[in-house]
């Protein structure tokens, strides 16, 4: 995959020629945001590129060039996976050393200058308008670790856990793009005597997840068979499902988490298309349960080998508190699509699924501070010497993720958010 390009793409870049992730950018002089692909340290502005005839050698896209005029990727996503594949392959061909169309971009200094914007001069927008957001719970090690904390090892996993991909509906309106600050929430929290109080969250946590975006809808009442589930998957992002553990503990019975989750969920800016992850297929966590027919996988290689890391930055000190891998999931994304629709629920283009928190089994591989600190009992040491049980005001959390194989790297960039102190009175002053 790692073919030579006439364009400078640093070897360590997440945005290699094998990746070409899609996003939405704004930069100086733009009246409205434009779809783009990231390549090396640059973004290719697809609106400017299309206007200059950049797609003139790809006849199939001609009737659909308006998708590059939209402020989200919904229109492009809705074209479907065969289109994504053609567009991505075409763009890659233009960047090859021996591109078949040198005049289009390689030898066109003006278009290179106009359409290839340094990432440092670009700001990213939410790449897609999210319809509904669903958070799954497929990180078995996380579910087990948290279950042990709440119910002890014997009952850590509920009986349904290995039979169906447990999930709950999340809040779409508070999904934000990497870089958006997160205000420490207020809420109802039990005091030491188990009386409810109204105060700022004291157990503010992260959840390391992989997000998946949908590119195809189904009609209400018509489930998606697992054999067709891949057609619905547009691509993947990193995700931090911020969690207020003290609010969660009091509110969550009997209908699940609510305010402990809906104050913010951060996703990374660039959508790694489903095809770009194909070379990194691997096996997920083995499920020994005999599955119902609608959940039976087509392949055991339905997880992805993606390295994941979580950093905490406090002042200038950065500490990596988690190193794990996205293969630590019991359920695959096609299984999630099949399960989500089995009763007839309609999916729409732009819907977001979270994988659930991804944790490994070894120390240092857990995707939430709740696990890292064993329920808040064992502080984690940062590089500055400071300690954390949960997040402090000013802490900046960055999730990074990348796959690597045979010298080819496909990465997600970063998913970042900084904690702002709680309002003094509970309300904006």
Binding-residue pattern over the window 1 to 20 for its own copies, x denoting contact by CB under 8 A: --------------------
Rg (CA), the chain: 22
Spot the catalytic one: 34, 42, 84, 142: 142
Window 404 to 423, contacts with its own copies (CB under 8 A): 420
DSSP label at residue 68 = G
> Of the candidates 209, 241, 251, 395, which one interacts with its own copies according to CB under 8 A?
251
Closer by beta carbon to its own copies, 208 or else 244: 244
Q: How far apart are CA 396 and CA 312, in angstroms?
A: 6
Q: Give the interface segment with its own copies, choosing from 11-19, 261-269, 272-280, 324-332 (CB under 8 A).
A: 261-269
C-beta separation of 357 from 144 below 8 A: no
Instruction: State the minimum distance, in angstroms, from the CB of residue 339 to its own copies.
Output: 7
Is 245 one of the binding residues for its own copies (CB under 8 A)? Answer: no
Structure tokens at 81: 């996976």
Instruction: State the minimum distance, in angstroms, from the CB of residue 290 to its own copies.
Output: 10
DSSP label at residue 408 = E
What's the farthest any 2 CA atoms get from each other in the chain? Answer: 74
Instruction: State the minimum distance, in angstroms, from the CB of residue 68 to its own copies.
Output: 25
Q: How far apart are CA 80 and CA 316, in angstroms?
A: 43
Q: How far apart are CA 188 and CA 191, in angstroms?
A: 10
Is 294 one of the binding residues for its own copies (CB under 8 A)? Answer: yes
Is 59 one of the binding residues for its own copies (CB under 8 A)? Answer: no
Is 21 one of the binding residues for its own copies (CB under 8 A)? Answer: no
Structure tokens at 246: 């003290």
C-beta separation of 75 from 67 below 8 A: yes
Is 260 one of the binding residues for its own copies (CB under 8 A)? Answer: yes
Q: Count Cβ atoms below 10 Å from residue 240 Cβ, excluding itself.
A: 28
Structure tokens at 114: 């106009």
Angle, alpha carbons 178-326-328 (nearest 5°): 135
Window 323 to 362, contacts with its own copies (CB under 8 A): 339-340, 342-348, 351
> Of the candidates 33, 54, 257, 411, which one interacts with its own copies according to CB under 8 A?
257
Closer by beta carbon to its own copies, 242 or else 402: 242
Percent of the chain that is helix, strand, coil (3-state, to 5): 25, 30, 45
Pairing of strands 116-118, 42-45: antiparallel
Is 169 one of the binding residues for its own copies (CB under 8 A)? Answer: yes
Is 144 one of the binding residues for its own copies (CB under 8 A)? Answer: no
Using CB atoms within 10 Å of the CB of residue 342, give its burial: 0 to 12 exposed, 13 to 18 middle, 19+ buried.
Answer: middle
End-to-end C-alpha distance for the chain, whole angstroms: 54
Pairing of strands 182-183, 408-420: parallel
Q: Give the interface segment with its own copies, choosing from 21-29, 161-169, 304-312, 386-394 (CB under 8 A).
A: 161-169
C-beta separation of 57 from 90 below 8 A: yes
> Of the candidates 254, 363, 377, 406, which one interacts with its own copies according to CB under 8 A?
254
Based on the residue annotation, tell me whether 142 is a catalytic residue of this protein.
yes
> Of the candidates 111, 247, 336, 369, which one interacts with its own copies according to CB under 8 A?
247
Q: Is 151 annotated as a binding residue?
A: yes
- Give the contacts of 187 (CB within 8 A, at least 6 positions apart): 198, 199, 201, 244, 246, 247, 251, 259, 260
Is 367 one of the binding residues for its own copies (CB under 8 A)? Answer: no
> Of the candidates 188, 307, 319, 418, which one interacts with its own copies according to CB under 8 A?
188
Instruction: State the minimum distance, in angstroms, from the CB of residue 111 to its own copies.
Output: 38
Q: Is 236 annotated as a binding residue?
A: no
Q: Give the interface segment with its own copies, choosing from 32-40, 99-107, 260-268, 366-374 (CB under 8 A).
A: 260-268
Is 63 one of the binding residues for its own copies (CB under 8 A)? Answer: no
Is 40 one of the binding residues for its own copies (CB under 8 A)? Answer: no
Q: Give the interface segment with its own copies, choosing from 255-263, 276-284, 316-324, 397-405 (CB under 8 A).
A: 255-263
DSSP label at residue 5 = B
Is 394 one of the binding residues for its own copies (CB under 8 A)? Answer: no
Coil, helix or strand for 251?
A: helix
Structure tokens at 253: 């019975």
Task: Report the phi/psi class of residue 218: left, alpha or beta, with left for phi > 0 and alpha for psi in -120 to 50.
Answer: beta
Annotated binding site: 135, 137, 151, 207, 209, 241, 248, 252, 261, 265, 357
Annotated binding site for substrate: 137, 151, 248, 252, 357
Annotated binding site for Ca(2+): 135, 207, 209, 241
Catalytic (active-site) positions: 142
Q: Give the footprint of its own copies on this chain (CB under 8 A).
A: 131-132, 137, 158, 160, 163-164, 166-174, 176, 182-183, 185-188, 196-198, 201, 219-223, 225, 244, 247, 250-260, 262-264, 292-294, 339-340, 342-348, 351, 420, 426-428
């Amino acid at each position: 995959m790692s073919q030579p390009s006439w364009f400078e793409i640093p070897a360590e870049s997440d945005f290699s020629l094998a990746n070409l992730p899609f996003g939405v950018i704004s930069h100086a002089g733009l009246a409205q945001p434009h779809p783009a692909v990231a390549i090396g340290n640059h973004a290719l502005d697809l609106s400017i590129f299309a206007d200059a005839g950049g797609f003139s050698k790809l006849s199939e896209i001609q009737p659909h060039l308006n998708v590059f005029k939209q402020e989200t990727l919904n229109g492009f996503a809705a074209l479907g996976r065969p289109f994504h594949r053609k567009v991505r392959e075409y763009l890659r061909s233009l960047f090859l050393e021996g591109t078949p169309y040198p005049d289009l971009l390689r030898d066109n200094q003006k278009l290179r200058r106009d359409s290839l914007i340094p990432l440092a001069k670009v700001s990213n927008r939410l790449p897609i308008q999210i319809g509904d957001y669903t958070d799954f719970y497929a990180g078995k090690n996380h579910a087990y670790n948290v279950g042990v904390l709440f119910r002890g090892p014997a009952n850590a996993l509920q009986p349904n856990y290995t039979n169906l991909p447990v999930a709950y509906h999340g809040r779409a309106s508070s999904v934000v793009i990497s870089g958006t600050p997160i205000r420490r929430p207020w809420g109802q929290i039990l005091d030491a005597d188990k009386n409810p109080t109204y105060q700022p969250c004291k157990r503010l946590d992260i959840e390391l997840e992989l997000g998946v975006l949908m590119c195809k809808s189904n009609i209400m009442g018509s489930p998606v068979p697992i054999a067709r589930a891949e057609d619905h998957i547009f691509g993947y992002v990193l995700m931090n499902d911020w969690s207020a553990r003290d609010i969660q503990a009091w509110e969550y019975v009997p209908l699940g988490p609510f305010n402990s989750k809906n104050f913010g969920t951060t996703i990374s800016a660039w959508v790694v298309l489903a095809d770009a992850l194909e070379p990194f297929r691997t096996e997920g966590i083995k499920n020994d349960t005999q599955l119902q027919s609608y959940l039976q996988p087509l392949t055991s290689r339905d997880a992805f080998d993606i390295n994941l890391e979580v950093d905490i930055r406090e002042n200038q000190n950065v500490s990596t508190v988690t190193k794990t891998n996205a293969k630590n999931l019991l359920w695959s994304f096609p299984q999630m699509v099949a399960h989500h629709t089995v009763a007839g629920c309609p999916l729409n283009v732009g819907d977001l699924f979270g994988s659930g928190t991804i944790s490994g089994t070894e120390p240092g591989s857990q995707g939430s501070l709740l696990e890292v600190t064993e329920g808040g009992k064992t502080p984690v040491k940062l590089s500055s010497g400071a300690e954390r049980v949960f997040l402090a005001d000013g802490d900046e959390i960055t999730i990074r993720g990348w796959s690597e194989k045979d010298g080819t790297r496909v990465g997600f960039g970063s998913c970042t958010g900084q904690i702002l102190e709680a309002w003094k009175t509970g309300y904006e002053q």
